[in-house]
Amino acid sequence: RIKKDIQMFEENLHKLDNKKIINHEIIELAKQYYQDSKYYLEKKDYFTSFGCINYGHGLLDALLIIGGLKDED
């Protein structure tokens, strides 16, 4: 599940990279959570890894919604 979430994060990040999003600070914070998630996954700390990727997703989702780029699920 965590690996799938990491892949979805990468796809959403790509959507943002192709658009002019004003708040690069939030994108950088989301990327830090993404990196943390991968780190904790390697350490087999699945709970922390899952929490990190979800924080990152939340930040990206907010930017996608604000930018009108969020697909309806």
The total domain count for the chain is: 1
Residue 73 lies in a domain: no
- Provide the domain limits for residue 44: 2-66
CATH number at residue 36: 1.20.1270.90
Tokens of 59: 């930040």
Residue 30 lies in a domain: yes
User: Could you report the per-residue pLDDT of 10-25, keeping only the tens digit for each?
Assistant: 888 877 765 666 667 8
User: Could you report the per-residue pLDDT of 45-61, keeping only the tens digit for each?
Assistant: 999 999 999 999 999 88
- Cα 48 to chain centroid distance, Å, stands at 15
Q: Say if residues 33 and 53 touch (Cβ distance below 8 Å).
A: yes
Residue 71 lies in a domain: no
Q: Say if residues 11 and 46 touch (Cβ distance below 8 Å).
A: no
Residue 20 lies in a domain: yes
| Model confidence, pTM | 0.79
Residue 37 lies in a domain: yes
User: Could you report the per-residue pLDDT of 23-43, keeping only the tens digit for each?
Assistant: 678 889 999 999 999 999 999
Residue 21 lies in a domain: yes
Report helix, strand or coil for 72: coil
Q: Say if residues 60 and 9 touch (Cβ distance below 8 Å).
A: yes
> In this predicted structure, what is the pLDDT of residue 21?
61
